Amino acid sequence: MNSIFLAIFTFFLYIIAYNTYGKFIAKKLFKLDNTNKTPAVEQEDGIDYVPTRKEIIFGHHFTSIAGLGPIVGPAIAIIWGWIPALLWLVFGSIFMGAVHDFGSLIVSLRNGGVSIGELTSSIINQRARVLFFLIIFFELWIVIAIFAMIMGVLFNLYPESVFPVWFQIPIAIGVGVLVYRRKMNVTLLSIIAIIFMYITIIVGAHFPIKIPSLGHVGSVEIWVLILLIYVFFASTLPVWVLLQPRDYINAFQLIIAMSLLFLGVLFAHPQIVAPGINTPPADAPPILPFIFVIVACGAISGFHSLVSSGTSSKQILKESDSLFVGYGGMLFESFLAILVLISVSAGIGIKYITKSGEILRGFQAWQTHYSSYLGSSGLGAKLTAFITGSANLMEALRIPHIVAATIMGVFIVSFAGTTLDTATRVQRYVITEFLSGAKWEWVKNRYFTTFIAVLTAALLAFSQKGGKGAMILWPLFGTVNQLLAGLALLIITVYLKKHKKNLLISGIPMVFMITMTGYAMIKNIINFFLKHNHLLFGIGIAVFLLELWLIIEGIIVLKGGNNLVWEKEK
C-alpha cells in the first residue's frame, strides 16, 4: 500500500469522527452548557485556576498527553505488522481514548476541577479514594523519574536538541508576561516565538552541546539532577508564566513538525514496506493482549485522565471548549501516532544506513532494523527507526538531513519535557488533595508538596547508577497505566449512571480495557514469578489487588449499593 493513502484516509476519518461521534457525545451525553461556570472562572487564583482561550489550553493539553507514547508505541508495535497497530490506533482513539479523555475532563469540570483520584470519594466512596490515590501516586512517581532519565538519555543521543529545548524557557516566559501583563496579541507573539524557536534549531544543528561526566557521576545523572531541580521551580510557578505559554508555542512547533511529516508523505509517497501482519515475530510477547498495553497514548492512556482532570480542567474557560481540548486533543495525538507508523513502516524503507555503513532500501531496510523484538526494543532503537524514517520523508522537501534530524530530535525531547513538567504539577495536586484533611496547613503548601513529588522521584531515579532506578519498576508501568484508563472509564460510567445516560459509550471501553490489561498484568506477574523477580512480583500482586478492590467498589456502586454524594446540579 502507498503511504499517501493511509495518511489522507486517517486524516479525514478523524475529522469526521470529531464532527459526528465527538459532537454527539458533547450534545447528547454530557450536554455541554456554557451557562455553567467552570472551576477556572469560579476559583480563579492566578496560579493553577486560570481561565484561558481554548487554543492555548489545547496546546498545553496536547503536548502534555503526547509525551513519547505515540512515538515509542507504534515504533514497537510495527513488529507485529502495520495493520494491527493501525486498527488499534484508529478505533481505540475514536471510541475509547477520546471518550476517556473527554469524559475525565467533563467530570472534573463539574466537580470543582479536582483530579480523578479526588473524584473517587464522591463518585464511589472514601475507601476507593485512598486506593485510587495510591495507584495514581505510583504511576506519576515512575513517570517523573523515568522521564527525567529519558530526557538525559535523549540529550546525549541528540546533543543538537539541548540548545533549542532549553531556550524555549525564556521564550515561553517572555510570551506569558507579554500576553498576561502587557495584553499583547497572542497570535503575533506566537509567530515571533516560533521564528525564534526554529532559529535555535538551526543553531543547535550546528552547535551540539554535550555535558561530560564528572568522575563517577555520568552525564545522564547530571542531566537528571538538573531536570529535577528545574521541574521543581517550573511546577510551582503560576501556569501562565511558563507551563501554558511553553506548551502553547511548543504545540505550534510540534504541529509544524507534523505538517512537515505529512507533506513529506505527500511528496515522497513511499510504499509501506513493513508486512501487514507479522506473527509471531522473534522474541516478541503475544500480540494479544500486549498490543493494547504497548500502544497506549495513540489509542488510550490512563495518564491522560490525570492531565484532563489535573491541569486542563483548571484552565477551561467555558464548557464547550472541552470538546476541542479533550476529544480533539486525543484524535490529534492519534494522528501523530499514524505519522509515526508511516515513518517506521514506509519512511524507513527509503534509506537505512547500517552500523557498517551499508545502505539498504525497501523491505530489507525494515527487516534489518526489526529482525527481532529484542533487537529493536531499546529506547535508542525505537527512536532511531522513527528519526530515520521521518528524516527520509522530510528530505523529500529538500530539508538537509542534519536539520531534519534536529527538528525531530527537538520534537521528541520537547514532548518528553512537557510530560515531565505536567506530571510533576499533577503529582503536586495529587499530594495536596490527599492531604486535604490534614490539620497543618503548611503540609498543603505548593512548595512543600512539589518538594515531596520531586524528592520521591529523585530517590527512585538515583536508587540505581546512571539515574536509572525507575527502570526497575518500568516493566509494571504499561499495565498499571492502562488499568488506570479502565478505572477512569469506571468513574465516568458511574457518573453517567447517576445522570441516567447511556452507559455503553464508556461502559464497553471500560470492560475492554480492564479485561485486556488485567490479563496482561496477570501474564506479567506470572512471568516475574518464573524469572524469580521477587520485587516486581510482589509489587505487581499488590497493585493488581488494589485495582481489583477498586473495581469491586465501583461495581457495587453501579449496582446501586451505595448512597452517593454528587456535585450540585446546575
Residue position matching grid coordinates 510504499? 271
Q: Strands, E, within 467-562: which ranges?
A: none
Task: Tell whether 570 is covered by a domain.
Answer: no
pLDDT of residue 126: 83
Helix (H, G, I), strand (E, B) or coil at 185: coil
pLDDT of residue 559: 81
State which residues form the domain around 172: 3-558
- CB hemisphere CA count around 320 (13 angstroms): 3
* Mutual angle of helices 116-123 and 98-109, in 10-degree steps: 70
* Mutual angle of helices 287-294 and 474-498, in 10-degree steps: 80
pLDDT of residue 566: 43
- 54 φ/ψ sector (left φ>0, alpha ψ -120 to 50, else beta): alpha
Task: Tell whether 380 is covered by a domain.
Answer: yes
Alpha-carbon distance values, 31 to 24, 25, 328 (Å): 9, 8, 17
Alpha-carbon distance values, 379 to 41, 153, 302, 337, 353 (Å): 42, 9, 21, 17, 18
pLDDT of residue 208: 92
Task: Tell whether 568 is covered by a domain.
Answer: no
pLDDT of residue 411: 83
Nearest Cα to Cα of residue 23 among 296, 430, 289, 326: 326
Distance in angstroms (rounded) separating the CA atoms of residues 527 and 529: 5
Task: Tell whether 566 is covered by a domain.
Answer: no
* Helical segments of 396-503, H only: 401-434, 446-461, 474-498
Provide the grid cell at 474: 518500568
Supply the pTM of this predicted model.
0.92
**Farthest CA pair distance, the chain:** 68
Give the CA-trace dihedral at 344, 346, 348, 351, to 10 degrees. Answer: 180
* Mutual angle of helices 329-345 and 69-77, in 10-degree steps: 40
Task: Tell whether 27 is covered by a domain.
Answer: yes
Phi, psi of 316, deg, nearest 5: -70, 125
Distance in angstroms (rounded) separating the CA atoms of residues 444 and 428: 9
Phi, psi of 484, deg, nearest 5: -65, -35
The total number of structural domains that make up the chain: 1
Provide the grid cell at 451: 518538594
- String of b and e for 98-112 (b: at least 16 CB within 10 Å)? bbbbbbbbbbbbbbb
Residue position matching grid coordinates 485486556? 516
CA angle 372, 522, 137 (to 5 degrees): 100
Asked if 299 and 88 count as a contact pair (C-beta separation under 8 A), the reply is yes
Task: Tell whether 116 is covered by a domain.
Answer: yes
Phi, psi of 271, deg, nearest 5: -75, 145
Q: What is the chain's pLDDT, residue by residue, as a tens digit (570 residues)? A: 899 999 999 999 999 999 999 999 999 999 999 999 999 999 999 999 999 999 999 999 998 998 788 999 999 999 999 999 999 999 999 999 999 999 999 999 999 999 988 888 888 888 888 888 999 999 999 999 999 999 999 899 889 889 999 999 999 999 999 988 888 988 889 889 999 998 998 898 889 999 999 888 999 999 999 999 999 999 999 999 998 898 888 888 888 889 999 999 999 999 999 999 997 787 889 999 999 999 999 999 999 999 999 999 999 999 999 999 999 999 999 999 999 999 999 999 999 988 888 999 999 999 999 987 766 666 677 788 898 999 999 999 998 887 888 888 888 888 888 889 999 999 999 999 988 877 788 888 999 999 999 999 999 999 998 898 998 998 899 999 999 999 999 999 999 998 889 899 999 999 999 999 999 999 999 999 999 999 999 999 998 998 898 888 888 888 874 444 444 444
Task: Tell whether 77 is covered by a domain.
Answer: yes
Asked if 325 and 57 count as a contact pair (C-beta separation under 8 A), the reply is yes
Question: CB under 8 Å to 413, separation ≥6 — which residues?
Answer: 151, 154, 155, 158, 161, 165
pLDDT of residue 376: 62
- Report the CATH number at residue 352: 1.20.1740.10
Distance in angstroms (rounded) separating the CA atoms of residues 447 and 425: 11
pLDDT of residue 564: 42
pLDDT of residue 378: 67
Task: Tell whether 567 is covered by a domain.
Answer: no
- 37 φ/ψ sector (left φ>0, alpha ψ -120 to 50, else beta): beta
Asked if 317 and 41 count as a contact pair (C-beta separation under 8 A), the reply is yes
Distance in angstroms (rounded) separating the CA atoms of residues 282 and 279: 9
pLDDT of residue 562: 47
Q: Within 10 A of 503 (CB to CB), how many other CB atoms are there?
A: 16
